Structure 1
Amino acid sequence: MDFDTSSDGNKRIFSRLGPPSDRSQPKVCYQWQSGRCYRLPCPFLHTNLPPKRTQQYHPDDPRSFQSSDPAPFTRRNPNPNYSANPNRNYSANPNYRGASSKWGRGRGRGGALGKPRAIEKVCSYWIAGKCSYGESCKYLHTWFIGESFTFLTLLEGHQKGVIGIALPSGSDKLYTGSKDESVRVWDCQTGQCIGVVNLGGEIGCLISEGPWIFVGLPSVVKAWHTQSNTELSLSGPVGQVYALVASNDMLFAGTQGGSILAWTFNAVGNCFEPAASLIGHGLAVMSLVVGAGKLYSSSMDHTIKVWDLGTLQCIHTLTDHTSVVMSVLCWDQFLLSCSLDKTIKVWAATETGNLEVTYTHNEEHGVVALCGMHDMQDRPVLLCSCSDKSVRLYDLPSFSERGKMFSEEEVRAIQTGPGGLFFTGDGRGELKVWKWSTA
């Protein structure tokens, strides 16, 4: 660090620490910062360094001095001519190279070519309700950073991680599944838990399709019709069911062994009949999504497979990821995937129908879940949960950082809701309710 030697004070600092080439960066006395240094003379600084490298002491780690530069989040609007919808089908796009040029523009801090993010940490003393530093604390006293959304409430009850959140159509109830082997039912008006269903096995996933709720368990899929109270058990899976998706009267289940089981819905008998078993993945299937007549599956074997829904045959295997592919998402004419290799990849179809990566977004940590939605201004936003217990929010297609949410444990479940609501469930079993602002 350079010092202006025209200042008497800085001359004293420089001569106390020696030339920069011989000594490390000067340290501020943490006892002085706490108002209780009695050493005279003190070998450390009794002054703060320039603002961009403010040295800070905190009871979380009294032996360390951590520099911070909490640059504020800046919002950049995506291309005004771009329109994305996470519910649209993925389809081939012969002009994919031109479209892909929009991805990653203006991504700000933390993008593939951006500068590393400043380290942000929620104060553990604040979480426990006993931080004595108050507003002067150098650590965060908030569960989120960002101005366009807000934290509404915390729903507590699950004893282990929340892995699935669902809002069936036509229902005013919220359903959550947890590794504590239970499904909880929440009243959307009061936020109160009004029912608990104990299933006797660890839940691997939970989704809704229309009025149906589907729950993946070891070697079985449970199905409930929320309007008629019909309950079904679909046998066939071997091992834990980690992923479920339903589309066009078909239900698919991704299993621990790597197979994908398919059922068709029989409206006359109001039941699901076995249809096929899709074999191809060598390890557990982690995520499933359907778009434009195709099924996309991601796996612990580092691959994504593309299945034709008409023939139920694998037509492509994507191998660009180098670790577990945790989640896949269809967005407009693109396919998005995230992995523990710390990347989010955007895929598009070539003129020949093959899929190629058109943009790679790099994170500092593994990415475990993706969710797409629109804010109250109808701007497309990507929510991605990372293994550092945070959820990042990015404008699309620019990947400009929009905000960040924090949890005490890793977030595995993200779900959108009506009226700008969205939900996150973490490894502690806590369910947080968020809402986009209209401003």
Structure 2
Amino acid sequence: MDSDGGGNRRVYKRPGIDSSKNQKVCFHWRACKCTRFPCPFLHSEPAYPSGSAASATGNGSGTPKRFADDCGFSGQLPRRSPNFKNKHNNSCGRMGANKVVRKTEKVCNFWVRGNCSYGDKCKLLHSWSLGEGFNMLNHLDGHQKLVSGIVLPAGMDKLFMGSKDETLRVWDTNSGQCTGVINLGGEVGCMIGEGPWLFVGIPNDVKVSFRHISIKLTLSGPAGQVYAMVVFNDLLFAGTQEGILIWKFNAVTNTFEPAASLKGHTLPVVSLIVGANRLYSGSLDHSIKVWSLENLQCIQTLTEHNDVVMSFLWWDKFLLSCSLDKTINVWVTTENGNLEVTYTHNEENGVLNLRGMTDLESKPVLLCACNDSYVRLFDLPSFSERGKIFAKQEI
């Protein structure tokens, strides 16, 4: 290897090859990083000498010893197809350079910043999604930390976003502009909307607003962060560090009053859902508890997951649960009334959240947020994957 005149070792000298400038192979071309045009160095492999000169390369095959050692290559160097054409001769010199570029399932950070110089030849994705039927509508920026809650109330033109930066932002869905920022005084652990009501869980409190302007309440009682909430009839359930707290709505005073607490989990409750007149709770203790909504008693404890139960989805008489143990369990009610796992879907990474929707043909679609910063979409009930949506950081 020789210097380029500036003290930088950039090019290889080939044994037995004339050492003139035009016989030096561009080091950056070999690394697929050369951006100079025209480049004063070769963007191709020169013919290798045979006989004694070839043996001097170190492996007897005509391959330079250092290149063979670095790449673990012991055979002949690849030859370009005689039909290969490149006007600027600026293609990559690595093995298989004449193959079609295969995209990896990772978003290009340079593309995100708007300065990727590889264009269509970049091996990373220049898209926020992979699959058919996706269309990005907008990108809402403003929160300084993780967005931990999103609510789009039915019939309203406002979108509400809560964050770990202790603020709630209000967005106009027509213009995509932020119309208000509310300081909550604590990190948002979860948010839900129910009709005209908005509930925001923060440490030690639940913030409540009616029609998002007229009435604002604070429900005291939680100890520590509120991780999950769900509404059933006139009851509000909240998963906290010490179990499940329940408030009952008083229509006369237009307020929520403490009603009960459910104990049983040994660690914080982080997920809740209601289905078939039952309440299901998931916890850091790896268990799911089934509660009767008639008498608020625990009627079954499910222990099939072996890590935190992060989220639930109720779909067509089935309960879906996901966990950091990299599984999604599909539960069905048996003749004796208990739940049993009827199917388990395995993922490569822990699953953080489940949501459901229907496509334009009214077919059910499952959305799974995983801790590799992907949202995977599956058709139900087949679990055939139909695409991915990507994020830069944790979802």
Tell me, in whole angstroms, the C-alpha distance in 1 between the residues paired with 2:101 and 2:264.
46
Corresponding position: 1:238 with 2:237: no
Query: What SS is found at the alignment partner of 1:126?
Result: helix
- Kindly tell me: are residues 270 and 133 of structure 1, through their superposed partners in 2, closer, same or farther at Cα, counting changes over 3 Å? same
Corresponding position: 1:256 with 2:241: yes
Asked if 2 retains the 8 angstrom alpha-carbon contact of 1:206 and 1:214, the reply is: yes
- 1:114-193 aligned at under 5 Å gives the runs 120-193=105-178
Tell me, in whole angstroms, the C-alpha distance in 1 between the residues paired with 2:234 and 2:175.
33
Tell me, in whole angstroms, the C-alpha distance in 2 between the residues paired with 1:128 and 1:168.
33
Tell me, in whole angstroms, the C-alpha distance in 1 between the residues paired with 2:216 and 2:154.
17
- Could you tell me which residue of structure 2 aligns to residue 390 of structure 1? 374
- Could you tell me which residue of structure 2 aligns to residue 76 of structure 1? none
Asked if 2 retains the 8 angstrom alpha-carbon contact of 1:170 and 1:211, the reply is: no
Corresponding position: 1:31 with 2:16: no
Shift of 1:376: 1.3
AA aligned to 2:168 is V
Shift of 1:188: 1.0
Corresponding position: 1:218 with 2:217: no
Corresponding position: 1:195 with 2:180: yes
- Could you tell me which residue of structure 2 aligns to residue 247 of structure 1? 232
Deviations 1:60-103 (A, max 9, x none): xxx9999x9999xxxxxxxxxxxxxxxxxxxxxxxxxxxxxxxx
Tell me, in whole angstroms, the C-alpha distance in 2 between the residues paired with 1:357 and 1:290.
18
Choose from 380, 400, 409 the match for 2:384: 400
Tell me, in whole angstroms, the C-alpha distance in 2 between the residues paired with 1:209 and 1:198.
22
Shift of 1:34: 4.7
Choose from 276, 294, 314 the match for 2:260: 276
- Could you tell me which residue of structure 2 aligns to residue 290 of structure 1? 274
- Kindly tell me: are residues 351 and 69 of structure 1, through their superposed partners in 2, closer, same or farther at Cα, counting changes over 3 Å? farther
AA aligned to 1:224 is S
Shift of 1:327: 0.3
Asked if 2 retains the 8 angstrom alpha-carbon contact of 1:368 and 1:384, the reply is: yes
Asked if 1 retains the 8 angstrom alpha-carbon contact of 2:148 and 2:190, the reply is: yes
Tell me, in whole angstroms, the C-alpha distance in 1 between the residues paired with 2:284 and 2:29.
46
Tell me, in whole angstroms, the C-alpha distance in 2 between the residues paired with 1:33 and 1:139.
14
CA RMSD across the alignment? 2.8
Identity %: 60
Shift of 1:332: 1.2
Asked if 1 retains the 8 angstrom alpha-carbon contact of 2:78 and 2:95, the reply is: no
Corresponding position: 1:321 with 2:320: no
AA aligned to 1:256 is Q
- Kindly tell me: are residues 357 and 69 of structure 1, through their superposed partners in 2, closer, same or farther at Cα, counting changes over 3 Å? farther
- Could you tell me which residue of structure 2 aligns to residue 302 of structure 1? 286
Corresponding position: 1:368 with 2:367: no
- 1:41-80 aligned at under 5 Å gives the runs 41=48, 43=64, 45-47=77-79
Tell me, in whole angstroms, the C-alpha distance in 2 between the residues paired with 1:47 and 1:210.
67
Tell me, in whole angstroms, the C-alpha distance in 2 between the residues paired with 1:30 and 1:70.
16
Shift of 1:130: 1.7
- Kindly tell me: are residues 332 and 64 of structure 1, through their superposed partners in 2, closer, same or farther at Cα, counting changes over 3 Å? farther
- Kindly tell me: are residues 46 and 31 of structure 1, through their superposed partners in 2, closer, same or farther at Cα, counting changes over 3 Å? farther
Query: What SS is found at the alignment partner of 2:120?
Result: helix
Asked if 2 retains the 8 angstrom alpha-carbon contact of 1:203 and 1:216, the reply is: yes
Query: What SS is found at the alignment partner of 2:135?
Result: strand
Asked if 2 retains the 8 angstrom alpha-carbon contact of 1:165 and 1:177, the reply is: yes
Shift of 1:339: 0.6
- Could you tell me which residue of structure 1 aligns to residue 190 of structure 2? 205
Tell me, in whole angstroms, the C-alpha distance in 2 between the residues paired with 1:322 and 1:119.
31
Tell me, in whole angstroms, the C-alpha distance in 2 between the residues paired with 1:162 and 1:211.
22
Taking CA–CA contacts closer than 8 Å with sequence separation of 6 or more, which of the two structures ends up with the larger relative contact order?
1
Tell me, in whole angstroms, the C-alpha distance in 2 between the residues paired with 1:64 and 1:300.
48
- Kindly tell me: are residues 178 and 47 of structure 1, through their superposed partners in 2, closer, same or farther at Cα, counting changes over 3 Å? farther
Shift of 1:128: 2.1
Shift of 1:169: 3.3
Asked if 2 retains the 8 angstrom alpha-carbon contact of 1:32 and 1:46, the reply is: no
Tell me, in whole angstroms, the C-alpha distance in 2 between the residues paired with 1:166 and 1:228.
15
**What TM-score does the superposition give when structure 1 sets the normalisation length?**
0.69
Query: Which structure would you say has the larger Rg?
Result: 2
Tell me, in whole angstroms, the C-alpha distance in 1 between the residues paired with 2:174 and 2:331.
39
Shift of 1:124: 1.7
- Kindly tell me: are residues 30 and 280 of structure 1, through their superposed partners in 2, closer, same or farther at Cα, counting changes over 3 Å? farther
Tell me, in whole angstroms, the C-alpha distance in 2 between the residues paired with 1:367 and 1:177.
21
Following superposition, which runs of at least 4 residues in structure 1 exceed 6 angstroms of deviation? 63-66, 68-71
- Kindly tell me: are residues 64 and 361 of structure 1, through their superposed partners in 2, closer, same or farther at Cα, counting changes over 3 Å? farther
Gaps of 5+ in 1: 1-28, 50-58, 72-117, 412-439
AA aligned to 2:125 is L
Tell me, in whole angstroms, the C-alpha distance in 1 between the residues paired with 2:200 and 2:123.
43
Shift of 1:168: 2.2
Gaps of 5+ in 2: 1-27, 35-41, 49-62, 68-76, 82-91
Shift of 1:277: 0.5
Deviations 1:94-116 (A, max 9, x none): xxxxxxxxxxxxxxxxxxxxxxx
Deviations 1:308-335 (A, max 9, x none): 1111111111100011111011111000
AA aligned to 2:30 is Q
Shift of 1:172: 1.5
Tell me, in whole angstroms, the C-alpha distance in 2 between the residues paired with 1:277 and 1:172.
35
Tell me, in whole angstroms, the C-alpha distance in 2 between the residues paired with 1:283 and 1:348.
26
